[in-house]
Amino acid sequence: MNPTSLLVFDALLLLSIVGLAWASLATTDARRCVILFMAFGLVLAVAWGRLLAPDVALAEAAIGAGLSGALLLAAAHGQPRPLPPESTNAPRNHGAAGVGVVLRWAVTLLCTALAGTLAWALLQVFSSTPHDMLPGAISENLAASGVSNPVTAVLLNFRAYDTLLELAVLLSAVLGIFALGQANPGYQPAGPVFDGLVRWLVPVLILTAGYLLWVGAHAPGGAFQAGAMLAAAGVVLRLAGRSRIGLPDGFVLRIVMAAGVGVFLLVGLALLLLGRPFLGYPPAWAGALILLIETAAMLSIAATLVLAFLGGQPQSTGVKAAADRQCEGISRC
């Protein structure tokens, strides 16, 4: 392979990454900022692929380029439209224009210093001989982990503690969102064109989720990517204006939300009772236990991400139907 032209490819890719990050943060128009950030996510997915990180690329493609774009675009809709440039500057320039400029430069200078320090530290790390103890330990023990994809082995076996706590973080994020109020208003029913797309896209997304969950044991994929794909199916249904988007109601929803942490903990405690370390799977069972935990985690992650897109506690469909009926009785609302 010709290394120089690959280097040119790298340079252009990185140039577009820096340019997009800069452009999305340089504008004051919320929508433009979000659109540029979505392009940033797309290019990042290519960069992960280039750096031989297909697991990360899968997650970035599903989340960075898909879900978080939809999430931020929906939020940008609610923002006030940008004023023409003359009027935006006027109120700020009243008293503190000088201070503003000084602050701006000070922050820029400090951030540049941070980048310099980081770069210096990294170059120190790179110039020392790499000590590959951790990757070595992983490849030595991979056979006993129950899966052959090293990233899945790290996530669900070697560092299963971290993943358990991460699922707890996701759960607390949803609980925080619930505490802040009701879900966003739904979308108006889609036209026939988008509806036609949704009709086959949603089943394909669900199938892809199943495929990613299964393949994660021996190839890039796993619960996180699969959960994101399932969530994407829910978000697509929501965008198409459907009232039922695959989320269960009430109590069942709460069980699904907690399933990831719950199953993880139950497996860990059961192993403790059997005299093994917490989450120390017996090698013969490891594959099956990991698949069980991953299935539960996928459902929880999907529910979390869909609820994150809703931005609040969903009204249960029964209550909502009653409210709609009432509405129609009173007036067109």
Residues 27-86 that bind other proteins (CB under 8 A): 28, 30-79
- Establish if 22 lies at the interface with other proteins (CB under 8 A): yes
Buried b (16+ CB within 10 A) or exposed e, 241-262: ebeebbbeeeeebeebbbbbbb
**Cβ-based neighbour number of residue 11 at 10 Å:** 10
**What is the three-class DSSP state of 182?**
strand
**Cβ-based neighbour number of residue 155 at 10 Å:** 24
Q: Which one of residues 99, 193, 274, 284 is an interface residue with other proteins (CB under 8 A)? A: 193
122 versus 252: smaller Cβ distance to other proteins: 122
- Establish if 324 lies at the interface with other proteins (CB under 8 A): no
Show the site string, 256-295: x = touches other proteins by CB under 8 A, - = not: ----------------------------------------
Output the smallest distance, CB 98 to other proteins, in A.
16
- Establish if 219 lies at the interface with other proteins (CB under 8 A): yes
Output the smallest distance, CB 274 to other proteins, in A.
26
How far is residue 287's CA from residue 103's CA, in Å, rounded to a whole number?
Answer: 55
How far is residue 17's CA from residue 266's CA, in Å, rounded to a whole number?
Answer: 43
Q: Which one of residues 96, 97, 101, 135 is an interface residue with other proteins (CB under 8 A)? A: 135
Output the smallest distance, CB 266 to other proteins, in A.
21
Output the smallest distance, CB 261 to other proteins, in A.
14
Q: Are 225 and 216 in contact, with CB atoms under 8 Å apart?
A: yes
**Cβ-based neighbour number of residue 161 at 10 Å:** 12
Q: Which amino acid appears at position 197 of this protein? A: L
Q: What angle do CA 37, 39, 45 make, to 5 degrees?
A: 105
22 versus 272: smaller Cβ distance to other proteins: 22
End-to-end CA distance of the chain: 64
Residues numbered 84 to 123 that lie near other proteins (CB under 8 A) are 103-104, 107-108, 111-112, 114-116, 118-119, 122-123
161 versus 270: smaller Cβ distance to other proteins: 161
- Establish if 303 lies at the interface with other proteins (CB under 8 A): no
Q: Are 176 and 169 in contact, with CB atoms under 8 Å apart?
A: no
205 versus 247: smaller Cβ distance to other proteins: 205
Q: Which one of residues 147, 206, 230, 235 is an interface residue with other proteins (CB under 8 A)? A: 235
- Establish if 240 lies at the interface with other proteins (CB under 8 A): yes
184 versus 316: smaller Cβ distance to other proteins: 184
- Establish if 125 lies at the interface with other proteins (CB under 8 A): yes
**What is the three-class DSSP state of 281?**
coil
Total residues interacting with other proteins, rule: CB under 8 A: 153
How far is residue 261's CA from residue 174's CA, in Å, rounded to a whole number?
Answer: 13
244 versus 275: smaller Cβ distance to other proteins: 244
DSSP state of 146: S
Provide φ and ψ at 21, rounded to 5°. Answer: -60, -45
- Establish if 154 lies at the interface with other proteins (CB under 8 A): yes
296 versus 301: smaller Cβ distance to other proteins: 301
Stretch that binds other proteins, among 204-212, 245-253, 257-265, 278-286 (CB under 8 A): 204-212
Distance of CA 158 to the CA centre of its chain: 23
- Establish if 239 lies at the interface with other proteins (CB under 8 A): yes
Instruction: Please count the CA atoms within 13 angstroms of the CA of 305 that sit on its side-chain side.
Output: 28
Q: Which one of residues 145, 146, 151, 260 is an interface residue with other proteins (CB under 8 A)? A: 151
Q: Are 225 and 286 in contact, with CB atoms under 8 Å apart?
A: no
